[in-house]
A and B are shown apart, each in its own frame.
Chain A
Amino acid sequence: MPFLTHGSYRIRYELDGPANAPTYVLVNGLTQYAELWAAYRDALVAREFRVATFDLLGQGASDKPALFIRQDDQVAALHLLIGELGDGPLFLSGISFGGLIALRYAIEYGQRLAGLVPMSCFAELPPQLLLLGNALRTGLILGGTSYLQDLLLPMNVSDQWLKPVLDKLDSVKRQGWLVNDVYALQNLMESFLDFEPLTPRLPSITAPTMILNGEFDFLTPRALHETLRVQIPNSSLVIIPHAYHAFTLEKPALTADLLARFARDVLAGNWQGNKAVWIAPEEAGGALAPFPGGYDHLRAIPTQGMAS
């Protein structure tokens, strides 16, 4: 289990795949740990990518600062990891909190990136997300990690995913409960107490950017991804059908396929963001479809008139 050192803290990471291949760095969301990317490692390595995963400070096997975890430190840890990866093409993707860290990295060190894939992501905290975050933090404080998981699971995955595991939820939650500590999760959540919106800085991201958003994600809904699409110059938004916030857990084959195709298109010079809106296929390998012209992709009912 290799570790990087950031100040007095250790960051656990893992590298898989050929050293000279284009690399994907995958950044965890809250309560996650590097092993949750296992399906992505397998799928992307099979398609001749190198894959770097790690545990954020405060999560998994990385050190857990006792009192404060600054988001700047997460970006610095990510920068440290990327520094280990040589000079080859680098693609960065993160989910939710990890997507935010990826955005911050792209703002600070965008020239290092060949491509960026924020997933279930946000650049600001509008009232709904702020209050949901506060409620989740209160849930963690009053009910512990297990209760936070109880709140997140039904928000983040579909009935189809939940139904077969309904009678074994404790075992589904167990590894996340074991590797996460209340105080460390609380520190991560409290790193938003002085959060400044990233929106004004998004136009500085020059890397090709594919924004992934679950069709039914109500934790970070379409409007938050729309901010990214509008503000990041070379971007497009891809809506994952029938997906919720944690579609990386629920649809790994499809998501890994989208990541691989995006990177291949960028490397081949075929990628054009154009701030377009796409609908992902239901299954890996299917064709992306443009969002129907003349309809508003921010609405849940077919309303004519595109959002600007």
Chain B
Amino acid sequence: MSAFFGPLDCDRRVLPRQQTRVAAFLISAHGALARQYAFTLPAKLEFAWQTEINAQVFRETEIVSLLLRATSWVPDLTLGYLAASWETAWLPAPVEAIPDPSLAMAAGLATLAHAVHAGIRPAALLPVDANADDPFVMALRRIEFESGRQLQAQILLLKGENLAPFRDAVSAILERRHTEIGRLWGDALTGVGITTVPAE
């Protein structure tokens, strides 16, 4: 068990089995975010901050499209079971402590997006000698970089004045989201020989 992809093939590419598992997880997560942001995107923007929802929809869609095309797919018989548990975890979960339903929904979505964008670092799985010209390698680097940028919208909302009265509740839910999604990510990787637990 290693903290990185490997062994690489003779062209220093990530093995298709590992590509498939990681890409499936990321497509599931970012696809869910794309769908949920798309549902909250109004046909006509009324506030400046809504421009960010538009950006999130298309960045998430771009990530899904990129992975579909950059991954060397192979059959993975456990994906059916895993995908079911992943999709369950992404289900919308409004923050119950917030009385305003739309704000509660927005905060819930932001906790999910924060956990995905901040907690999932696919590029950190790449070993030093991974082939930089490989599209899958480039895709993972791009996704991690873009996630860091997208994350700012979630940080602004979750740390913002609107949620200040609910800070403890939001923080607790966010920590839970991080733990839950980190566990799903860890389980997905363990099945293809990668560990997210630091060596003793």
Contact = CB atoms under 8 A, between A and B. Distances in A.
B15 interface: no
A301 interface: no
Contact of B118 (A61, A141, A181): A181
Interface in A62-100: 65-68
Interface in A1-35: 1, 8
Contacts of B171: 66-68
B152 A141 contact: yes
Interface string B173-184: 011001000000
Nearest to B199: A1
B159 interface: yes
Interface string A133-164: 00000000110100000000000000000000
Contact of A68 (B118, B152, B159): B159
Contact of A144 (B128, B148, B174): B148
Contact of B149 (A65, A68, A142): A142
Given A66-B178, A67-B171, A68-B171, A182 B118 contact: yes
A186 interface: yes
Given A66-B178, A182-B118, A1 B158 contact: no
A171 B148 contact: no
A183 B155 CA distance: 8
B174 A67 contact: yes
Contacts of B151: 182-183
A307 interface: no
B200 interface: yes
Contacts of A65: 175
B198 A1 contact: yes
B124 interface: yes
A55 to B, nearest CB: 11
B12 interface: no
A67 B159 contact: yes
A174 B127 CA distance: 10
Interface in A172-188: 174, 177-178, 181-183, 186
A66 B175 contact: yes
B155 A186 contact: yes
Nearest to B111: A66
Contacts of A61: 198
B118 A183 contact: yes
A171 B155 CA distance: 30
Interface residues on A, range: 10 to 19
B58 interface: no
Contact of B114 (A1, A66, A178): A66
Contacts of A183: 114, 118, 151, 155
B121 A181 contact: yes
Contacts of B114: 66, 183
Contact of A66 (B118, B198, B200): B118
Contacts of B159: 67-68, 190
B158 A67 contact: yes
B170 interface: yes
B148 A182 contact: yes
A66 B159 CA distance: 11
A141 B151 CA distance: 9
Contacts of B198: 1, 61
Given A1-B198, A183-B114, A66 B152 contact: no
Contacts of B145: 144
Contacts of B124: 177-178
Nearest to B118: A183
A61 B114 CA distance: 20
B174 A66 contact: yes
Contacts of B115: 66
B170 to A, nearest CB: 7
Nearest to A193: B159
Nearest 6 CB-CB pairings of A with B = A183-B118, A182-B148, A66-B174, A144-B148, A67-B171, A66-B178
14 contacts: A1-B200, A61-B198, A65-B175, A67-B159, A67-B174, A141-B149, A144-B144, A144-B145, A174-B128, A181-B118, A183-B151, A183-B155, A186-B155, A190-B159
